[in-house]
């Protein structure tokens, strides 16, 4: 399966919603199947076999059941978007269908979500679905998107209260210790272990200051440094080799000249 790409407007990335891990995977898999340049077809077919392969699952039948259960719950779930003037609430889906004999499901995105998935000219976030495919925490997926949005800037500050609102934590993990351990640290550790980003953070005055690095860029820098070091070593060895060879040549030439001039007779 080729690399599937997720495209989301930044408004959708920063929206408030609460999905299970299975629901997140279904939504992101479906989004990655869309053509972001055309809103003509907002219906996506999800084959259990493809879904299982993407998320490293083996049992196709159990996966198909998980997809159906996830879609049943998703059908009733909403997103909350907030701008300067108002809060907008709408559903993810407007229709769902199942083809049991083929272990295949269909979903149709709601009309209201279309502007946040299609014809995205600017202010959007994109990433490979494989970057989050092995995540086990829903908070890891959300935090990954929030930080991938600022990958070029390499930093993002988020108030604790804002992050709680985005994740719709409500009365969960109200103690700072619990929030840090069960949400923040768990997500950051998983991002560092499994994703293409390297994350560190500090909390001060209820503001989380994230530092964001691309592992690929860091690897490229290391590779350049290694290559540079290797080239220097190679040049040094080559120069030494050449000098030694030149000395031998000069010595031989000197000997022949002396021989010609009868100095050794």
DSSP label at residue 4: P
Question: Per-residue pLDDT tens for 201-220?
Answer: 999 999 999 999 999 876 65
Query: Which of the four pLDDT bands, split at 50, 70 and 90, describes residue 264?
Result: very low
Query: Which of the four pLDDT bands, split at 50, 70 and 90, describes residue 258?
Result: low
- The candidate with the shortest Cα–Cα distance to 187, out of 14, 3, 4, 21, is 21
Query: How far is it, in rounded angstroms, from Cα 70 to Cα 23?
Result: 5
Query: Which of the four pLDDT bands, split at 50, 70 and 90, describes residue 249?
Result: low
Average pLDDT value over all residues in the chain? 88
Structural domains present in the chain? 1-124 (1.10.10.10)
pTM, two decimals, is: 0.82
Interval 223-236 mean pLDDT? 56
**Do residues 91 and 109 touch, judged by C-beta distance below 8 A?**
no
Interval 83-101 mean pLDDT? 94
Tokens 């997500």 identify what position? 187
Question: Which residues partner with 213 through β-bridges?
Answer: 198
Query: How far is it, in rounded angstroms, from Cα 168 to Cα 171?
Result: 9
In this prediction, residue 85 carries a pLDDT of: 82
Cβ neighbours for 187, distance < 8 A, ≥ 6 positions apart: 137, 139, 140, 142, 143, 144
């Amino acid at each position: 399966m080729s690399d599937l790409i997720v495209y989301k407007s930044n408004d959708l990335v920063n929206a408030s919603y609460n999905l299970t891990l299975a629901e997140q995977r279904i939504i992101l898999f479906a989004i990655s199947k869309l053509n972001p340049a055309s809103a003509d077809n907002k219906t996506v077919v999800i084959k259990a076999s493809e879904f299982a392969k993407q998320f490293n699952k083996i049992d196709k039948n159990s996966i198909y059941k998980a997809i159906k259960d996830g879609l049943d719950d998703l059908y009733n779930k909403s997103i909350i978007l907030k701008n300067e003037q108002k809060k907008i609430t709408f559903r993810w889906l407007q229709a769902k269908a199942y083809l049991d004999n083929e272990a295949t499901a269909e979903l149709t995105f709601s009309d209201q979500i279309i502007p946040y998935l299609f014809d995205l000219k600017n202010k959007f976030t994109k990433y490979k679905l494989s970057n989050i495919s092995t995540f086990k925490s829903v908070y890891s997926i959300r935090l990954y998107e929030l930080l991938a949005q600022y990958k070029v800037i390499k930093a993002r500050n988020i108030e604790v209260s804002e992050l709680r609102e985005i994740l719709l934590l409500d009365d969960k993990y109200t103690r700072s210790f619990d929030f840090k351990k069960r949400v923040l640290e768990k997500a950051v550790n998983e991002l560092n272990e499994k994703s293409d980003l390297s994350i560190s953070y500090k909390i001060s005055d209820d503001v989380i200051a994230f530092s964001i690095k691309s592992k690929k860029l860091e690897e490229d820098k290391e590779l350049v440094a290694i290559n540079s070091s290797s080239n220097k070593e190679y040049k040094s060895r080559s120069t030494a080799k050449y000098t030694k060879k030149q000395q031998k040549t000069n010595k031989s030439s000197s000997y022949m000249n002396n021989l010609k001039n009868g100095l050794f007779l």
